[in-house]
Structure 1
Amino acid sequence: MIIPKAERLNHVQEYYFARKLAEVSALNAQGKNVINLGIGSPDMPPSEATIAAMKSSASQPSGHGYQPYRSLPALREAMATWYEATFQVQLNPATEVLPLMGSKEGVFHISMAFLNPGDKVLVPNPGYPAYATTARLAGAEPVYYNLSEENNWLPDKTELEELARQGVKLMWINYPHMPTGAQATAETLLWLAELARKHRFLLINDNPYSLVLPNTAPQSLLSIPDAMDCCLELNSLSKSHNMAGWRVGMVLGRQDYLDAILAVKSNIDSGMLQATQHAAIEALHNNDEWHLQRNNEYAGRRELVYRLLDMLECKYQKDAVGMFVWARVPDHVSDVEAYLDELLYEASVFLTPGKVFGSQGERFLRVSLCVTIPQLEESIKRINQHIISTVSHELK
């Protein structure tokens, strides 16, 4: 390069999955045929009506120009209606709903809209790496709060109170939680909102997993009384409507917060394709039966993942929400990442090491449900053969 990269990138690493998927692609080029159980990219299609709406809209000559920065009023209305029906949260579609091109975009826009250099941001450990990365890109400091298996992967009140006293600008939560699948109680959301109000920071819940294998009624942070004063919520159609590659998300909250986010967003993109918006409107009308069929398929896959994890002597919770299974690796495995690399190179099965999501995930792995039942059965077969081969080699 004839110029150096920006100093902010000194604190930002390449996204783990970008690097690892390149490694998997190289193995596949060698004929390995790796089964990828690491990525939460839905392999089932959106509803037929969603696809039909996309085709119909895309065929209209007038639909390919720049779109409104706030998106179509009909999309905002559909999102508000969906939130009221799903989460019992009433929102003004004109002022309290801002569609996004995926909620990952929203994580970045929120960070850029509200963080100044030196600000502190509370980030879950383990948690989605983008929360810390976007804070660093904004010049802010991620401050990690620990989630533990012993506390059902919920924040510890004492620890958070102490961290909040030191002065923070934002706090990220993500319930149902990725990667663990833990569900927050209404009581937990209530005291988190009270903590945000007390210490005057913005609390954001990233909430894309509520409809995937739920074990309780879906919850929203915005259902907490007076939460709109100090809270925002992100949501997405990626997981709940099988539309990960379509890039349709939303941020929900008070108008002044959304206006600040829009000031960033409108300087970065030029609106969402009209056909995508029309398709999203249709997707938000998917009936309960469509969601049940998707969850029944995931439930069947999850039973096979349990079998796979039992073979590996891992421990896991059966009441987790979402499209992953989070599991503790047995203590006799000294290096989890090396162990999973062994499975990748010897059995051609890719599993995600938990430490990707923070130090609290060091002894864990994550398995995605976004593969077919035949692929899971083949994964079980391969890993079983690897275990037999390893035991046979050790006996020699």
Structure 2
Amino acid sequence: MSQHLNPFTIEPAELMSQLPTQFFATLVANVNRQIAQGHDVINLGQGNPDQPTPAHIVDSLKEAAGQPQFHKYSPFTGFSFLKEAIATRYKADYNVDLDPETEVAILFGGKTGLVQLPQVLLNPGDVCLVPDPGYPDYWSGVALARAEMKFMPLTAQNGFLPDYDAITPADRDKAKLMFLNYPNNPTSATAPLSFYEDTVAFAAKHGIVVASDFAYGAIGFDGSRPVSFLQAEGAKEVGVEFYTLSKTYNMAGWRVGFALGNAKIISLINALQDHIYVSLFGGIQAAAATALTSSQQCVEDLVSRYQSRRDAFYDALADIGWQADKPKGSFFCWLPVPKGYTSVSFADLLLEEAKVAVAPGVGFGTHGEGYVRIGLLSDEQRLREAVHRIRALNLF
């Protein structure tokens, strides 16, 4: 009898067809294909920290996992001790005062907050200003809110900072939200306090909420600490900052992040999360608090490691004639492609001929064309080996 029934089909919601294509899924597939064929691929295209979480943080989780109070549901907005720990850290590192209960929201990783924010602020058809090139998950949050994106070009001529004067009056008037990210992924640029002061003034004048993605906030080179958006006077009146433990403490898999700043926005994020989550496992919250309140020597050591890798890598680049500015922050390098190549064709060439994987700049936006991004997430020997393999192609 069942053979006469109409075939059962699953019809996805219209929203699913509006989500942006995951550009880097193709890159991962290409790398995996080369590895499956037995090739030794040096993968510099990823953004996943390569070092383990410091032992004292792991030990804290082991101890906390045995505590029965953490075997129950956590408070919906998280334990106060963790929010107090992030507030203490921000005061020590940036001299920023935060009310732990009203100006801190605990997130399942920074990405979660970046995707949630457009959903709590934007209606269908509203405009969000997005950096180009920029982190693709900004696009995801805007798509889920059924809002529109207007791109702010980041160019070398302007230090990879957006030019607010270049935004059209129509876009300024319609925009309700703006994403910023310094130290920047993918360009590795950093932003001075004066830029954030200009940003606060621009946002206040036009009624635009600022979302500062500070994922790489701990990683600054040559003795310079990156500046937090929240250090600018009036920042909490116009926006929030997103911070994550993923890069600072090599805790990418632990999924611990924070939204910080404007109390109204924090309350909206918490309200949305009440419908989705029951906060992080308490043992992970305890370990995260240990990371934030213990000695920060592990962070200093990590930054020193990345700087040493950066210097070794750029010395090798100079030897083959590949000219590029050293990054001032993040663990990324933004390198121009040789003449005659697009970012995709150059990345394909490196993977096929040199077995070196890099991320094509166009995957981060149209203004990423002409560049590739590499991560300082392999040891110095492998970074030098990657440049040695590229040398053999005689491109520079």
Asked if 1:185 corresponds to 2:196, the answer is: no
Match of 1:194 among 189, 194, 201: 201
1:294 to 2:309 alignment: no
Q: Work out which of the residue numbers 292, 299, 302 in structure 2 matches 1:284.
A: 292
* CA deviation after TM superposition for structure 1 residue 309, in Å: 3.6
- Tell me the equivalent position of 1:34: 41
Q: Residue 217 of structure 1 corresponds to which residue in structure 2?
A: 225
Amino acid at match of 1:236: T
Residues 164-187 of structure 1 deviation map (CA, whole Å, 9 limit, x = unaligned): 533111011111211111111211
Q: C-alpha deviations, 1:253-273, integer Å up to 9, x for none?
A: 122211111121121222101
Which stretch has the larger CA shift, 7-16 or 22-31? Answer: 7-16
Matched, 1:322 2:330: yes
C-alpha distance in structure 2 between counterparts of 1:339 and 1:101, whole Å: 36
1:255 to 1:364, Cα distance in 2 relative to 1, 3 A: same
> In the alignment, which of 220, 226, 235 is matched to residue 227 of structure 1?
235
SS of 2:175's equivalent in the other structure is coil
% identical aligned pairs: 35
Correspondence for 1:272 among 252, 264, 280: 280
Q: Deviations over 1:194-232 (max 9, x none)?
A: 111111121111111121134533322122222211111
Deviation at 1:311, TM superposition (A): 6.0
Task: Count residues in correspondence.
Answer: 388
Tell whether 2:286 aligns with 1:259.
Answer: no
Q: Name the stretch that deviates more: 4-13 or 66-75.
A: 4-13
SS for the counterpart of 1:213 is coil
Distance 1:33 1:2 in 2: 43
1:67-78 to 2 correspondences below 5 Å: 67-78=74-85
The whole-number CA distance in structure 2 between the counterparts of 1:87 and 1:222 is: 8
Map of 1:1-396 to 2, 5 A cutoff? 2-160=9-167, 162=169, 164-215=171-222, 216-310=224-318, 313-330=321-338, 332-385=339-392, 387=393
**Structure-2 residue corresponding to 1:394:** none
Contact kept? 2:331, 2:376, Cα under 8 Å: yes
Report Cα offsets for 1:275-333 as digits up to 9, x if no partner.
11111111113434322211221122112322454466433222421101111122x23
SS in 2 for 1:98: strand
State the distance in 2 between where 1:222 and 1:314 align: 37
Q: Write the distance in 1 (CA, Å) between the matches of 2:243 and 2:385.
A: 34
- How far apart are the structure 2 equivalents of 1:163 and 1:104? 29
Cα drift, residue 348 of structure 1? 1.4
TM-score between the two structures when normalised by the length of structure 1: 0.92
SS at match of 2:329: coil
TM-score under structure 2 length normalisation? 0.92
Contact 2:337-2:371 within 8 A present in 1 as well: yes
1:313·1:329 contact (CA, 8 Å) conserved in 2?
A: no
Measure the CA separation in 1 of the matches of 2:208 and 2:263: 17
Distance in 1 between residues matched to 2:109 and 2:134, nearest whole Å: 18
Q: Is contact 1:86-1:218 (8 Å) kept?
A: no
* Partner SS state of residue 155, structure 1: coil
Q: Which one-letter code corresponds to 2:81 in the other structure?
A: A
2:159 aligned partner, one-letter code: N
Aligned equivalents of 1:101, 1:312: Cα separation in 2: 43
Q: Which runs of 5+ in 2 are unaligned?
A: 1-7
| Cα-Cα RMSD | 2.0
- Unaligned 5+ segments in structure 1 are 392-396
The alpha-carbon deviation at position 158 of structure 1 amounts to 1.2
1:55, CA displacement in angstroms? 0.9
Separation of aligned partners in 2, 1:231 and 1:259: 13
Q: For the residues of structure 1 that align with 2:341 and 2:152, how far apart are their CA atoms?
A: 25
1:336-363 CA distance string (max 9 Å, x none): 2112112112221101111111111100
| Runs of 4+ with >4 A deviation | none
Deviation larger for 221-230 or 199-208: 221-230
Q: CA deviation at 1:163?
A: 5.2
1: CA distance between counterparts of 2:327 and 2:254?
A: 29
User: Shift of the alpha carbon at 1:6?
Assistant: 2.3
